[in-house]
Structure 1
Amino acid sequence: MLPLKYLSAYPQTLQDKVRKLIADDKLGMYLADRYPHRHAVQSDRALYEYTTDLKQEFLRVAPAIDKVMYDAKLDVLRHALGLHTAISRVQGGKLKAKKEIRVASLFKEAPPEFLRMIVVHELAHLKESDHNKAFYRLCEFMQPGYHQIEFDLRVYLTQRDLVRDSSIK
């Protein structure tokens, strides 16, 4: 049985459906039909503006974001949805905290729904640090259909690995 590392937390029935699409060589078609477009947010500056616009729309009173960037060094298996950090430094007699969001650079080529889902996920961490019900309610508020898009993003990563592995052979 083909291991699906990005989908391991999902029910076996869903994993079996993905395996069937892979066996029938239809996984790429499934994704292309559902997500035919690619986003235009290609630079770190554009990603920062995109993120701050979403933050302004949904989380006006959340802490400011100091930096948003694509990061080629993110380990996609461990941080498939990006990374948020809060860096605290003492400057003079004051404690300064800087918030950063990093998105794996492979998502430069992703559909706009996937980029939005990743940014929404990381923005939700400004209000909710844990992946609890309140966190996912906030994600769903900022992006209706969040859970389906997250699942499809993981299917996208699976397809990407399959294409990469077949080109290596």
Structure 2
Amino acid sequence: MKLETENSYLELPTLAGEKIKVLRRSHPRARRLRLTVTSGGARVTYPEGTHPAQVFAFLRKHGEWLERKLDELKLGAQPPALEPGATTVIPLRGETTRLVWRAGTYPRIELNADRLVLTLPEPHRRALDAARGLLRSFFEAQMRRDVSRWLARICPQLDLAPNAVRIRPLKSLWGSLDTRDRVTLDLALALAPPAALKYVVVHELCHLRIRNHSRRFWSLVETIQPHWEEQRDWLRVNGQALKAELGRLIQAP
């Protein structure tokens, strides 16, 4: 099976006997396999030189998530509600991750390979409230780990630093910088690829120096994060679905 770089598709069979066509593209800067779903269909991106069997195995592994996402787009449906004990598939740092539940003495959450494990005492009274709290804390911790590392590299380049970084769910924005030089980031970015989160961080930090979207501003962004347009475009295409995913995971219906 030969992989092509332009207009080449894989066909993934479903349990219902149907086939899902997935556009496949190699990318010179790709570091890992990535599966995305938009209104235009599904696409798998992979590093150059990846064996075709590895690409197909990746699709089979994430077939359940892919089928659900395509159904949501087709029907305009909201993601299914979080249900205690029911395994579900979520995006995390741009990768497909299985969210599973376990019974245990103390509430906790941990990432184990490609599984995010929620441990809660039985009986599952108030289980959803506890799970949402654990997920929100986990997502924020993941983001702060990345953001702290980037601040240490970017702030010296700008010779400026924010007074605070706040992370919370935002309805429409991905980030903002207020008059007190406090950066606010959307918690949904924990589900996006790290490069997309970094783009938003770079964007807001550059506003410390230039408080507009002039050509000078975008030139500064390009200096710190080349090819930032790819991440901006990714968020434009996938943003609504990403925010909906966060909502079903941490907010009561």
Task: Please give the range of the TM-score, normalised by the shorter of the 2 chains.
Answer: 0.5 to 0.7
Q: Decide whether aligned partners of structure 1 residues 162 and 68 sit closer, same or farther in structure 2, where only a CA change above 3 A counts.
A: closer
3-state SS in 2 of match to 1:154 = helix
Aligned residues: 126
Mean Cα deviation higher: 44-53 or 125-134 = 44-53
The one-letter code matched in structure 2 to 1:127 is R
1:90-109 equivalences in 2 (<5 Å): 99-109=181-191
Q: Decide whether aligned partners of structure 1 residues 20 and 48 sit closer, same or farther in structure 2, where only a CA change above 3 A counts.
A: closer
Q: Decide whether aligned partners of structure 1 residues 47 and 71 sit closer, same or farther in structure 2, where only a CA change above 3 A counts.
A: farther
1:16-95 equivalences in 2 (<5 Å): 19-21=39-41, 25=70, 36=95, 42=141, 46=145, 49-60=148-159, 62=160, 64-72=161-169, 74-75=170-171, 77=172, 79-80=173-174, 82-87=175-180
In structure 2, which of residues 230, 233, 239 is the aligned counterpart of residue 148 of structure 1?
230
Q: Decide whether aligned partners of structure 1 residues 163 and 103 sit closer, same or farther in structure 2, where only a CA change above 3 A counts.
A: closer
CA distance in 2, matches of 1:55, 1:37: 29
Name the structure with the higher strand share.
2
In structure 2, which of residues 170, 195, 199 is the aligned counterpart of residue 113 of structure 1?
195
Q: Which has the larger radius of gyration?
A: 2
The one-letter code matched in structure 2 to 1:117 is Y
Mean Cα deviation higher: 150-159 or 118-127 = 150-159
3-state SS in 1 of match to 2:202 = helix
CA distance in 1, matches of 2:146, 2:245: 27
Equivalent residue number for residue 127 of structure 1: 209
CA distance in 2, matches of 1:37, 1:145: 24
Q: Is the 8 A contact 1:47 1:69 kept in 2?
A: no
TM-score, normalised to structure 2, is 0.41
Is 2:217 the partner of 1:138?
no
Identity %: 22
How far apart are residue 162 of structure 1 and its match? 7.6
Larger relative contact order (CA 8 Å, sep ≥ 6): 1
3-state SS in 2 of match to 1:69 = strand
The one-letter code matched in structure 1 to 2:158 is L
CA distance in 1, matches of 2:166, 2:244: 27
Structure 1: runs of 5+ lacking an equivalent = 1-17, 88-98, 165-169
Q: Decide whether aligned partners of structure 1 residues 47 and 69 sit closer, same or farther in structure 2, where only a CA change above 3 A counts.
A: farther
Q: Decide whether aligned partners of structure 1 residues 47 and 163 sit closer, same or farther in structure 2, where only a CA change above 3 A counts.
A: closer
Q: Is the 8 A contact 1:42 1:108 kept in 2?
A: no
Q: Decide whether aligned partners of structure 1 residues 105 and 138 sit closer, same or farther in structure 2, where only a CA change above 3 A counts.
A: same
TM-score, normalised to structure 1, is 0.58
The one-letter code matched in structure 2 to 1:146 is W
CA RMSD of aligned residues (A): 3.8
